[in-house]
Structure 1
Amino acid sequence: MLSGLKASLPTGRGAPWFAAATFANAVGMGVYYPFSLLYFDAVLDSSLTAVGTALTVAALIALPLLPAIGRLIDRWGPQRVLCASTAVRAAAFAAYPLVDSLLAFVALSVPVALAMRTEQAATPVLAARLAERGDAAPGRWLALSRAMFNAGFGLGAVVAGLVVAADQDVLVKVGTANAVCVAVAAALYLALPGGRATSTTKPVPDAQLTPPADVRSTRPWQNRPFRIVVAAGAGLWIIAVGLETALPVHLVRAGATPAWTVSVLFALNTVLLALFQVPVAHRVEKVRPATLVAVGAALHVALPAALVVADALPQAVAVAVLVAAMVVYTLGELIASQAVLTLLTGIAPGERRGAFLAFHQMFVGLANALTPLLVTVSLDRSANGLWALFTVCSVGIAVLMAVSGRTLVPPRTRQPAETVRAA
């Protein structure tokens, strides 16, 4: 297994630095994210509603600034932008304990939200740049990034959870721990070799990535294939954030399963994502990405369907059904999320990749800001209605990608159907 994993990893001077920077950044996010509301509540001594509203407002203010960030990524390069954004986020979290009003809190949260979206846009661009200088397809670098993020996030969340459970007074130090981890990531990005492509660089041949010239519009909203992938990615993000937010609340309220079920399901999801992201990406890299998105989106249906039937099952059976559904859902997440990134970086013109991915992050950020509101309103009315909505969204994405798949692959590089089926 280890030899197979090693063969799946990208090679090149930048691989260890890229993996380490992503991991350090993710550890900080894992320490902070699960306890963010409690942390800000402890710092501000304000209500959770006020804190949540302030964070949503800050996220929405940051979104219109993303096109400018995309232009900076294209002009300065993703490595410099990542160094700057992580440094800004580290400084902001170090300053949070000094905030004494909601207005100052919003003012400090806007650059944090912008930095987080910036990192999501710049990291795939950096992965593509590094792939051009190495001997691996961009998909492997993207898979390495996702694997390291999930591993780091899981480790940070577990450590923070244990520490907070032992002593809740350390909540005010969550921001400091996050600032330290993010500062380490900034230093690692700064030391990363090979992050800038040169004119002599030859991209790695990948029939699934190079878009035809007639769809290479310089504006992302005018590029129809890119718009299709953005819609699919935003839909998948809504499902992921929605389930992550709604699943704990529903399981605790319904009482059909033990309280530890939530922890088991999230731990299972995190471990599978961390261990199998790179091997799965390696196994399916010859399959058309649009097909993978369609299949992965269809597999997302497993978890909402299991949540519908779990309430009517005996406790032990309900737990088994939810665990099995989480495995299927995670497999769909492994396949679809990776393929969406592959399509986004492949369809976007190389010299405009930053602007294109920043455009994508506008919709991801909007989904991230509004989905919790959708979940809370829906759970107060009908949980089954929310699961049905996620199911319809999953099926809609699968159908969209199945129908549009051939338009996302250039005619000159389409593989015969027998080759695709064999892969």
Structure 2
Amino acid sequence: MTITSAPRPAATTPDPVRSSLLRRLGGPRYAAVLVVDALGAGMLRPFLLLYGMSVVGLSPGGAGLAVTLGLLAGLATLPPAGRWLDRGARSVPVAATLLVRAAGAAVLVAAPTPAGFAIGALLLGLGSQAWPATHAAVVATIAVGRERDAALAAGRSLRNAALGVGALAATATLGGGTTALRWLATACALGYLASGVLALGMRLRAAALDRDTSAGTKDDLSFLRPLLVVNLPYAANFSVLEMALPVLLVTRLHASPAWSAGIFVGNTVLVITMQVALVVRLARVPRHRVLAGSGVLLAASYLGFWGAGSLGGTPGAAAIAAVAVVFTVGEIMYAGSSTALVIAHAPERSLGRALSRFQLSTGIGMALAPAVLTWLLTLSPGALWGGLAAATLLAAGSVVATSTRSARLAG
């Protein structure tokens, strides 16, 4: 039996008491899909390069190139994924992203050769890049209005928790050497397979709509074009904790790597514990204002990192850890409003393409950020943090200006 959903009704006020976590996530089955998916990503993603070097015998550059090419190739799946979603598919695309990653992890185990690693990394890249858009489309189908925003936030909290558990489990096995890494990849393949089967069992589709987009498609998505450009500097925040801060702490402040790990763990805990509550609390604020406000907070945190870094040594590292709390709040506000804003403005017949294009923008921003951020840091901390702050503030201003212009045209 196939479950279909009606077109999205008008936005509703969230009911925190009625909307339990499992309800927001679409029930226990889909919550299990999220958990197993995130556990697999947490176990494998941080150690994929190590797998290529230790098990396959690749150089760091060769392993990194294979992973990067896989992720870039994955961006090419987004336009067809968007069209697939616009034909009403929901649970099947989600299952496809999981089953493709299961195949990728299986190839890593079955063919520990350079060619096998390249194919495995390609399949993992294809599945991981298409996941956010397909997941958001499922949530948009099973929840509405501000309850949908809370559902997206709950999914991110659950995913962050499972990513952390997966990473800890993987870390605990690393002492076993190459054998442990191969068992790790095997566990990931089985987990992705089980999660994909669970997703297929949902049999969820959107209700049949007018899919004739020969006229008006460009108008449908015209609201999205400014947001795609604005999103590029916002997306750089995902690389700040993972790359910019560790490099700054170790090379400029000569602080212990433990500071980087502690800041990352603190960020994860705050995201897990604060995300749903903060998104629900901001439910009465227009989404574009929350997105603009997140840009202001992120820019303030970048300037804070700049100032804290000038202290040097342990005082500087401690100040950076304190500023990271402000950064985390900005990150939560961005994640909680950006995708929700796209879903709220996208016409039903164009939802899949809107989500896939937004994810493409995020993917490009994340792909460019490591090279851009490290290059700016080689110039000076001021170039890095001042440049990030200026770009993000400009993006926040553009969000407000675009929204005001759209409202004026609509009126």
TM class, shorter-length:
0.7 to 0.9
Matched, 1:67 2:75: no
The 5 Å alignment of 1:315-330 reads: 315-330=313-328
In structure 1, give the amino acid aligned to 2:122: V
Segments of structure 1 that go 5 or more residues without pairing to the other structure are 201-215, 415-423
Secondary structure of 1:77's aligned partner: coil
In structure 2, give the amino acid aligned to 1:223: L
* Match among 86, 96, 108 for residue 96 of structure 1: 108
Q: How big is the shift at 1:162? A: 3.1
Q: Tell whether the 8 Å contact from 1:256 to 1:318 is kept in structure 2 after alignment.
A: no
Q: How big is the shift at 1:407? A: 4.2
Corresponding residue of 2:38: 26
Corresponding residue of 1:391: 389
1:263-282 residue CA offsets vs partner (Å, 9 max, x unmatched): 11111111111111111111
1:322-344 residue CA offsets vs partner (Å, 9 max, x unmatched): 22211111111111111001111
Of the structure 1 ranges 30-39 and 358-367, higher mean CA displacement relative to structure 2 is found in 358-367
Matched, 1:351 2:349: yes
Q: Provide the identity percentage.
A: 26
Aligned length: 391
Corresponding residue of 1:192: 202
Corresponding residue of 1:146: 156
Between the aligned partners of 2:394 and 2:337, the Cα distance in structure 1 is: 17
Secondary structure of 1:313's aligned partner: coil
CA distance 1:5–1:137, shift in 2 (3 Å): closer
Between the aligned partners of 2:378 and 2:348, the Cα distance in structure 1 is: 46
CA distance 1:225–1:64, shift in 2 (3 Å): same
Between the aligned partners of 1:280 and 1:410, the Cα distance in structure 2 is: 29
Of the structure 1 ranges 341-350 and 314-323, higher mean CA displacement relative to structure 2 is found in 314-323
Q: Tell whether the 8 Å contact from 1:302 to 1:326 is kept in structure 2 after alignment.
A: no
Q: Tell whether the 8 Å contact from 2:221 to 2:354 is kept in structure 1 after alignment.
A: no
CA distance 1:31–1:219, shift in 2 (3 Å): farther
In structure 2, give the amino acid aligned to 1:126: V
Q: Tell whether the 8 Å contact from 1:225 to 1:407 is kept in structure 2 after alignment.
A: no
Q: How big is the shift at 1:255? A: 3.8
Corresponding residue of 1:271: 269
Tell me the TM-score normalised to structure 1 length: 0.83
Of the structure 1 ranges 373-382 and 288-297, higher mean CA displacement relative to structure 2 is found in 373-382
The 5 Å alignment of 1:37-76 reads: 37-75=49-87
Q: How big is the shift at 1:4? A: 6.1
Corresponding residue of 1:294: 292
Corresponding residue of 2:172: 162
The 5 Å alignment of 1:77-96 reads: 77-96=89-108
The 5 Å alignment of 1:204-353 reads: 217-219=216-218, 223-313=221-311, 315-353=313-351
Matched, 1:15 2:27: yes
Q: How big is the shift at 1:7? A: 5.0
Q: How big is the shift at 1:188? A: 2.6
Secondary structure of 1:196's aligned partner: strand
Of the structure 1 ranges 21-30 and 356-365, higher mean CA displacement relative to structure 2 is found in 356-365
Secondary structure of 1:238's aligned partner: helix
Q: Tell whether the 8 Å contact from 1:294 to 1:402 is kept in structure 2 after alignment.
A: yes
1:205-241 residue CA offsets vs partner (Å, 9 max, x unmatched): xxxxxxxxxxx95248x73321122223332212322
| Aligned Cα root-mean-square deviation (Å) | 2.8
Q: How big is the shift at 1:31? A: 1.1
Segments of structure 2 that go 5 or more residues without pairing to the other structure are 1-14, 210-214
Between the aligned partners of 1:136 and 1:309, the Cα distance in structure 2 is: 37
Between the aligned partners of 1:238 and 1:113, the Cα distance in structure 2 is: 19
In structure 2, give the amino acid aligned to 1:341: T
Q: How big is the shift at 1:10? A: 6.8
CA distance 1:34–1:302, shift in 2 (3 Å): farther
Between the aligned partners of 1:295 and 1:8, the Cα distance in structure 2 is: 27
Between the aligned partners of 1:50 and 1:38, the Cα distance in structure 2 is: 11
* Match among 25, 36, 43 for residue 48 of structure 2: 36
Of the structure 1 ranges 26-35 and 318-327, higher mean CA displacement relative to structure 2 is found in 318-327
Q: How big is the shift at 1:359? A: 1.7
